Structure 1
Amino acid sequence: MMEEAWTGAALVALTIGLWATARLPEYLVALLFFAAAAILRLAPPDILFSGFSSAAFWLVLSGFVLGTAIRKVGLADRIARTLAIHLAGSWPRLVGGVVLLSYALAFVMPSNMGRIALLMPIVMALAERAGLAEGSRGRIALALAVGFGTFQLSASILPANVPNLVMVGAAESAFGVHLSYLPYLLLHAPVLGVLKGLVLVACLCLLFPARPRPIEAPPPAEALSRDEKRLGSLLIATLALWMSDAVHGVSPAWIGLAAACLCLLPRIGFLNGEEFAAGVNVRTCIHVAGILGLAAFVSHSGLGTVMGEWLLRILPLDPARPGNSFGALVGLASALNFAVTANGVPALFTPLAQSLADASGLPLPAVLMAQVIGYATPLLPYQAAPIVVAMGMGQVAARDGIRLCLALAAITFLLLVPLDHGWFVLLGWIPR
């Protein structure tokens, strides 16, 4: 049993190392992980391949279909023409506008993957109109603005991403702690939403400088074509169902899949078989399934719990130094990201929260909230599946995503975490 645990730990470490260093293509690393774990019988198939049955996987696939249809019928370029006039005045303005758009959409649309599927074809068309060629630094920056803005900033809005929902469920079941929309927003939006959004814009502009060409006012737009009207109606209906999932109870993934199927139906759809094959990035889909399967494997094998308890023993938690304890808790959540990725962090961190509160002297609600900063700040792209999907759709190399991850993480830990601690104290979540 001990030998099996060490083998599993070695496989997880090797998989993470290969994803982090990009020595092999990300999809190949995922396939090698599946093959090794299956041959060595380290986990049952339903655990190992659970990523393929997850809602996230099917939302990714349907997102590629919807994005391809939006581009084909011309809706992406039409919306991009409208946005270009308002955003293309300067490079910071263009980047800031895309980041703001990704954050604003999180207030009305609950799914990270759905927002990326909706925004990415529009933003790529916007890049085209601004003269940012495929593979250029400017185009890379706008794709990363969608991915990072969608995932990292949406953590400040309670129902806007999966890790938040996992945390809410775990906190209610374990401790009876109920979190409300507005208090949560007030606690996290100023630092984790607004300030981090400004930091993201600054990092993108500095790491990926570009000069978008000036865009003149377009001629009067032609009337919507029949296909544009039909697809627009489908997208509005899909968006409405995504926004109201709390009412009807249908997962955004299955709504997206139904919309994708309608796009593919003969005669009434928009895409044929060849366009489907060209539009769906199978590499990214396999990568996402690998990330989700790795997280499920770590949880099933107990490696995550062992890692959490070990980190708990070495953390510098001291009731006399609440600021240091707060930073250590954020660091713990960030470290757990390596093993179980962002979606799995709350499932491991939350059960430890009472022990962490006792050791640190911080109130239990503050300990629960500290983890949000950690899982919303991945050190490597693979730790957040929405970022991986955005990079795949925008054809962004792994090294560019890693550069931005590390820059944002460094500024977050050095500047934003102390500011967040002060904000927690000011609002009374942490005693003075």
Structure 2
Amino acid sequence: MSQDAAQIMGAQGVVAATAALLVLCMGLWATGLVAEVVTALLFFAAAMLLKLAPAQTVFSGFASSAFWLVTSGMVVGLAMNRTGLGDRLARMLAARLPASYPGFVAGLVAFSFALAFVMPSNLGRIAVMVPVLIALCDAFGLKAGRPGRTGAILSFGIATPVLSAAILPANVPNLVMAGTAETLYGVHLGYLPYLFLHAPVLGFVKGAILVACTVLLFPDRLDGARPALPPLPPLSGAERRLSVILAIMLGLWLTDGWHGIAPAWIGLAAAVICLLPGIGVVSAASFSEIPLRTCFYVAALFGLTAVVNETGLGAKIGHALLSVAPLEAGAPAKDFATLVGLSIGFLFVGTANGAPALYTALAGEFAGSSGLDLMSVLMVQVVGYSTLFLPYQAPPIVMTMDLAGLSLRDATKLTAMSGLASLIVAAPLAYLWFRLTGRLA
């Protein structure tokens, strides 16, 4: 704890002030009463003015590798948009989509998962793909007002944050979790082990659940005829260069266990190459189009978590939760269910972006009480924060609604139904997979 803060306010005063700041920031992020970046700056200003922690703690988020992975992901997303490679991938998809409604939805959900491997930005994928999806729906005869159009677009919007949780660098919640774990515990997550642990259930099973819920809630049918699409133009030089950059980036991510380079620095190198004159694909001036407000938001989350931990508030919250949470050594199934429930509970307070910060800050307390190792406790939360029940819990879903003009009622129906089905079906399967892979003893 900062000695200056202790002298001015006393230990209890620092904890109380930190708690108030935590509630204020999480409340503003959850409700969206002000822009996320404004709340982020509010945190930095309040924490420094009140001297809750040293500057290196308050601003520790900017030193996190996850912060730089978010930033580089924004650059890669911009490059895919500006070069037209994202649109080309979508048009290639259209030529391969089945001419049946269930197949059409399944193809969009699968494409959402596949795109997350090469475009590590949820909001970037939504910004690029929603206009393309609207055109695809029109081409397949799903005009405005038809339930199939609503279901198809919403399924992609929900799949974007939910399924990408299985891919370490593919969404903000994963990066918040990884960055907080690195900051607090010195834990470094590997790309391939993380993918192997989560993809079978959180990627494939949850994808199938989402398709089934979409078809049930928004039934429709296609006429069985494949739309006539204009031929794709030849690959431009920029698209070729970007394809090579993305292939190398993905290859290095998949082999990080061999070369030991963290995904963040691989992504940052790819972003730099994209911006280099001559061999890059976007101009350096284009960097001004990067939404740095999201990057500041991520840095503020990491800093807030570090302050909560350093002031002792995290330990107090952990002890309070442990007094009511049924965690006990030697009961892995019970502990797994409790930890998933806690992770889901944090979603309603801090959204999918903030929930991992709160949970990870308490992971040490949870590990000590349950008898599970720290890595297992950290990994269980992914099952929870990827189980969404309301649209506001994931900004990409809200962005999908806004861009496509979809109603909150329809989005809530699909998130609630798919979330409940995932809790009933996917969570138990995730527990079995954790046991089978040896992640849980």
If the length of structure 1 is used for normalisation, what is the TM-score? 0.72
Aligned ranges for residues 224-235 of structure 1 at < 5 Å?
224-235=235-246
Which residue in 2 is equivalent to 1:276? 287
Instruction: Report the Cα offset of residue 97 of structure 1.
Output: 2.5
Distance 1:249 1:272 in 2: 30
Distance 1:169 1:283 in 2: 22
Q: 1:314 to 1:282 in 2, by over 3 A?
A: same
Instruction: Report the Cα offset of residue 150 of structure 1.
Output: 0.3
Which residue in 2 is equivalent to 1:355? 369
Q: What residue ranges of structure 2 are gaps of 5+ in the alignment? A: 1-10
Residue 38 of structure 2 aligns to which amino acid in structure 1? L
Residue 247 of structure 2 aligns to which amino acid in structure 1? I
Which residue in 1 is equivalent to 2:162? 148
For residue 95 of structure 2, give the secondary structure of its aligned residue in structure 1: helix
Which residue in 2 is equivalent to 1:76? 86
For residue 159 of structure 2, give the secondary structure of its aligned residue in structure 1: helix
Distance 2:265 2:336 in 1: 39
For residue 96 of structure 1, give the secondary structure of its aligned residue in structure 2: helix
What are the Cα deviations for residues 92-150 of structure 1, in whole angstroms up to 9, with x where unaligned?
434433433454577xx5x9x7375895576446425415799x956565243222210
Say yes or no: does 1:200 pair with 2:210.
yes
Alpha carbons 1:75, 1:228 under 8 Å: kept: yes
Residue 82 of structure 2 aligns to which amino acid in structure 1? K
Which residue in 1 is equivalent to 2:36? 26
Distance 2:46 2:218 in 1: 38
Alpha carbons 1:130, 1:215 under 8 Å: kept: no
For residue 362 of structure 2, give the secondary structure of its aligned residue in structure 1: helix
Which residue in 1 is equivalent to 2:4? none
Q: 1:14 to 1:320 in 2, by over 3 A?
A: same
Q: 1:232 to 1:430 in 2, by over 3 A?
A: closer
Deviates more, 1:399-408 or 1:343-352: 399-408
Q: 1:353 to 1:379 in 2, by over 3 A?
A: farther
Residue 83 of structure 2 aligns to which amino acid in structure 1? V
Alpha carbons 2:126, 2:399 under 8 Å: kept: no
Distance 1:45 1:77 in 2: 43
Residue 144 of structure 1 aligns to which amino acid in structure 2? I
Instruction: Report the Cα offset of residue 13 of structure 1.
Output: 1.0
Q: How many residues align?
A: 409
Q: 1:237 to 1:212 in 2, by over 3 A?
A: farther
Which residue in 2 is equivalent to 1:127? 133
What are the Cα deviations for residues 70-93 of structure 1, in whole angstroms up to 9, with x where unaligned?
222222222211111223635543
Percent identity reads: 38
Residue 265 of structure 1 aligns to which amino acid in structure 2? L
Aligned ranges for residues 255-404 of structure 1 at < 5 Å?
255-278=266-289, 280-316=290-326, 326-335=336-345, 341-342=355-356, 345-346=359-360, 348-350=362-364, 352-357=366-371, 370-377=380-387, 388=395, 403=412
Q: 1:262 to 1:99 in 2, by over 3 A?
A: same
Say yes or no: does 1:114 pair with 2:120.
yes
Alpha carbons 2:343, 2:355 under 8 Å: kept: no
RMSD (Å), alpha carbons: 4.8
Instruction: Report the Cα offset of residue 300 of structure 1.
Output: 2.4
Alpha carbons 1:19, 1:382 under 8 Å: kept: no
Distance 1:265 1:429 in 2: 42
If the length of structure 2 is used for normalisation, what is the TM-score? 0.71
Q: 1:276 to 1:335 in 2, by over 3 A?
A: same
